[in-house]
Structure 1
Amino acid sequence: MKKKIVFYVRNLEFHAISKNLQTIVNSLDKKNFEITIIVGEKKYSDFILDNFSKEIKIKFILNDFLTSFRSKKYKKNFKNKIFLDFIKLFLNLKSIYEIKKNNFDTFIDYQGMYLSDFLKYTSIKNKITVLHENRYIGITNDKKRKKIKKKFKNYNKIIFLAKEQTNDFKLLYPDLKDRFFNIYNCFDINKIKELSMEKFTFDEIKWVDNKNYGLMLSRLENGKDFQTVLNALGELKKIDKLNFNFYFLGEGSLKSFLEKEIKNLNLEDNVFLLGNKTNPYKWIKKSNFVIMTSHSEGLNNVIIESLILEKIVIANKFKYGAEEILQNKYGFLFNNENYLELVNILKKITKENKKSTDYFPEIKKSYSRFSSINILEEFNKIL
């Protein structure tokens, strides 16, 4: 008999969590597992939704109207607060109802601990959560820590994406350490390489044809360190004219701020915000180098995807993941917010114009540990 597994996420928009979920569920053996994804809000990317295996059931909880209401910014008043609280409660209870009525064997809260407080209403024994970010690690308030611990106790398995992150939480909550597991995000290496060979459209060619360029792929939101990148590019332009373009691929609330900073630093001729790309892999493949700067991560997808495509990767030593992935032998690392270190790295690689394998001969060994085949062995053990 097949095991019935349900994954819960808040949305299926175009971001790393959706792509990771897609790789996992598409790779799981459908002869052994019956898989359902329950999605809280009716927000999704067609590219993500269309590329799930047809054998996977996907159910949205909120309709278009309620999803739209939750997404808009309203004046803070009592009436709006009551309605938003009602929608949130309805979302959680309806999600639990769907989970309970289908008698699943395993529940996976894939986007964090959204349904932690409601799991007591189900009889599922195998309850798992996957923590993709580090919002809980810096909390020192005892009352808040007890609250987090209470949430943790509602799951019998808690997955962290980086080894260092797993070890830190074991030190913080030693009596729960047997529930903590380190399992990396998994990547369909062959699929990424295949997509990287896709041709550019007519509108895209002008950005890549006969162009040297670097990339940063990220949602344009707080948490990423865009300022250090822009400061480095601005400094480089002052001391030595930029002989390459730099593209930010992504959308978000910081777009206007970044546009102003690009103008303030006199970078309009070289630095461009190109928005989201449904196939970022061809952009990575064609690039000269990829930069990832952040304040904190679970485990950064872009670094791993860039290594799979054997590109030069430059990252700051953010917590967690960059050093664990690059290990000082697969890419360049620099200290947090030290834009002058980044300037020196950029001067070096643009002047020498070498391939990633010239700097890092073992780069081909860097990504096999993240392959879907290897990670699924670990994932299957907890299902």
Structure 2
Amino acid sequence: MEKKRILFYNGQLLIGGIERVLTSYLQGLANEDDLEITVLIKENNPEKNIFFKDIPEKLPIVFIKTEEMVAFRNKIKEKRKKNIFCKMLYPILLSYERWYMRKWLKNYMKENENKFDVVIDFDMSLGKYLNLINLPKIGWIHYTLTKKMQNKKKERRFRRRLGKYDKIVAICDEMKEEAKNLFDVPEEKIKRIYNPFDIEKVKREKEITEDESKKYLQDDYIVAVSRLVEGKGREDLVEIYNELYKKEEIEEKLYILGEGPVSVKLEKRIKELNLEDKIILIGQKKNPLPWMKNAKIFVHTSYGEGLPTVFLESMISGTPVIAYDCPTGPKDILGRNQYGILVKTGDKEKFEDELSKLLKDKERRKKYIEDFNKEKLREFDIEYIKKQFKEVINIGD
């Protein structure tokens, strides 16, 4: 059997939605007899590349930037605010790394041009280097494209980059329509493939609990899981909880899982509201599934998504979702309120009202999960997704 030789590229293996989906693909495809996969990662950062251990051992992994290079740059980055020399050195390092990456990729693709049949730019961060790759290229769109339209220069640049891919995959229907309507991507060039899920693996891992976490999981709570960055709307979530608490419409605690630059702002606001005992910043968890399983409701106030992986994980774990109906993704999972609750993005009052009602309605929470498992879940099964994936990579066949 002739194998399809695939080079999977991604920038990093940090905690994040794209990285989680990447490892789901690699785990699902690693044992396929007709595929030969090599994984190419931009940065070798053992401290932060959380998902490195989740890549199947049989798959070779190649790093572009060395561990020493990444560690030195990060050290300079940390010191730049207090050290004028580091402040001046940091942009020089970034410039050098861009030059280094271009040179490295050029040499690597030249030396290995006969070893691969197709290159998958999984996080679409190879944009400025696509001309160095003389192989069929597939780009994977994970986020809404509407923001690309806000800056004419960025729009033109992104439009040119889209034209360099032989095929494009969008992870939800809305995203596919954006690519077609906003960037004139031809119908025959783009395909929608939902993110894959090893459903049985999720069911197993939702039972695993760290000992230090058990005390938290015994309480009644609602949960949110994401990186703590601007755009995820965690400030909205704190305000929503505060209003419900003042009205005595919520007894459950709010657990916020994740790390990021917004955490300091959130911690300050929680203290201002005297809610330290009610809203708990749990931090980053490698396995958030037990936290989802034991929650009453999964809450999500993001202003933009791709296909929110955490919705699927929560629903498979048995916990219904209420979320902002942000651009791309939520409707593909929750339908039009068939399998959960969608609220107009930014409408905190409506979110408060829907959350309050859902907390009081156990039967409704149960029905969302039952209907999802019966009618929708199969569309995300890894076996179903693998068939679609193989259709896409057969470029020119």
User: Does residue 1:368 correspond to 2:378, yes or no?
Assistant: yes
Pick aligned residue for 1:218 from 214, 226, 229 = 226
In the alignment, what sits opposite 1:289? 297
Q: For residues 187 and 175 of structure 1, do their structure 2 counterparts lie closer, same or farther at Cα, with a shift above 3 Å needed?
A: closer
Superposition TM-score, scaled by structure 2 size = 0.89
**Local SS of the residue matching 2:293:** helix
User: Does residue 1:63 correspond to 2:75, yes or no?
Assistant: no
Task: Check the 8 A contact 2:148/2:158 in 1, yes or no.
Answer: no
2-side partners of 1:100 and 1:185: how far apart?
32
In the alignment, what sits opposite 2:34? 32
2-side partners of 1:69 and 1:158: how far apart?
35
User: Does residue 1:128 correspond to 2:138, yes or no?
Assistant: yes
User: Does residue 1:377 correspond to 2:387, yes or no?
Assistant: yes
Q: C-alpha displacement at 1:260, in angstroms? A: 0.9
Q: C-alpha displacement at 1:23, in angstroms? A: 1.1
Q: For residues 376 and 96 of structure 1, do their structure 2 counterparts lie closer, same or farther at Cα, with a shift above 3 Å needed?
A: farther
In the alignment, what sits opposite 1:253? 261
Pick aligned residue for 1:52 from 27, 50, 55 = 55
**Local SS of the residue matching 1:139:** helix
Deviates more, 1:219-228 or 1:349-358: 349-358
1:263-302 to structure 2, matched below 5 A, reads 263-302=271-310
User: Does residue 1:90 correspond to 2:92, yes or no?
Assistant: no
Deviates more, 1:250-259 or 1:172-181: 172-181
Structure 1: which amino acid aligns with 2:380? Answer: F
Deviates more, 1:332-341 or 1:173-182: 173-182
In the alignment, what sits opposite 2:9? 8
User: Does residue 1:229 correspond to 2:237, yes or no?
Assistant: yes
2-side partners of 1:142 and 1:226: how far apart?
29
Task: Check the 8 A contact 2:293/2:317 in 1, yes or no.
Answer: yes
Q: Which runs of 4+ in 1 moved over 6 A?
A: none
Q: For residues 186 and 146 of structure 1, do their structure 2 counterparts lie closer, same or farther at Cα, with a shift above 3 Å needed?
A: same
Task: Check the 8 A contact 2:3/2:36 in 1, yes or no.
Answer: yes
1:323-362 to structure 2, matched below 5 A, reads 323-327=331-335, 328-354=337-363, 356-358=365-367, 361-362=370-371
Task: Check the 8 A contact 2:179/2:185 in 1, yes or no.
Answer: no
**Local SS of the residue matching 1:330:** coil
In the alignment, what sits opposite 1:81? 91
Task: Check the 8 A contact 1:37/1:58 in 2, yes or no.
Answer: yes
1-side partners of 2:93 and 2:185: how far apart?
39
In the alignment, what sits opposite 1:105? 117
In the alignment, what sits opposite 1:243? 251
Q: C-alpha displacement at 1:142, in angstroms? A: 4.5
Structure 1: which amino acid aligns with 2:308? Answer: N
Task: Check the 8 A contact 1:130/1:160 in 2, yes or no.
Answer: yes
Q: C-alpha displacement at 1:274, in angstroms? A: 0.6
User: C-alpha deviations, 1:211-267, integer Å up to 9, x for none?
Assistant: 111110000001201122111110111111641111011010111100011112221
Superposition TM-score, scaled by structure 1 size = 0.92
1:113-262 to structure 2, matched below 5 A, reads 114-124=125-135, 126-134=136-144, 137-174=147-184, 176-198=186-208, 200-209=209-218, 211-240=219-248, 242-262=250-270
Structure 1 unmatched runs, 5+: none
Task: Check the 8 A contact 2:223/2:257 in 1, yes or no.
Answer: yes
Structure 1: which amino acid aligns with 2:126? Answer: L
Q: C-alpha displacement at 1:308, in angstroms? A: 1.5
2-side partners of 1:162 and 1:204: how far apart?
34
2-side partners of 1:100 and 1:213: how far apart?
54
Structure 1: which amino acid aligns with 2:309? Answer: N
2-side partners of 1:164 and 1:309: how far apart?
26
2-side partners of 1:231 and 1:141: how far apart?
31
Q: For residues 135 and 69 of structure 1, do their structure 2 counterparts lie closer, same or farther at Cα, with a shift above 3 Å needed?
A: farther
Structure 2: which amino acid aligns with 1:298? Answer: G
Structure 2 unmatched runs, 5+: none
Q: For residues 47 and 138 of structure 1, do their structure 2 counterparts lie closer, same or farther at Cα, with a shift above 3 Å needed?
A: closer
Percent identity at matched positions?
Answer: 29
Deviates more, 1:337-346 or 1:93-102: 93-102
Structure 1: which amino acid aligns with 2:120? Answer: I
Q: C-alpha displacement at 1:38, in angstroms? A: 0.8
**Local SS of the residue matching 1:60:** strand
Q: For residues 156 and 344 of structure 1, do their structure 2 counterparts lie closer, same or farther at Cα, with a shift above 3 Å needed?
A: same
User: C-alpha deviations, 1:252-291, integer Å up to 9, x for none?
Assistant: 0111100011112221111101111111111111111101
1-side partners of 2:6 and 2:106: how far apart?
14
In the alignment, what sits opposite 2:320? 312
Deviates more, 1:142-151 or 1:7-16: 142-151
Give the paired residue count. 379
Structure 2: which amino acid aligns with 1:58? Answer: I
Q: For residues 175 and 169 of structure 1, do their structure 2 counterparts lie closer, same or farther at Cα, with a shift above 3 Å needed?
A: closer
Task: Check the 8 A contact 1:160/1:166 in 2, yes or no.
Answer: yes
Task: Check the 8 A contact 2:145/2:178 in 1, yes or no.
Answer: no
Q: For residues 353 and 70 of structure 1, do their structure 2 counterparts lie closer, same or farther at Cα, with a shift above 3 Å needed?
A: same
Q: C-alpha displacement at 1:78, in angstroms? A: 5.5
Q: C-alpha displacement at 1:137, in angstroms? A: 4.3
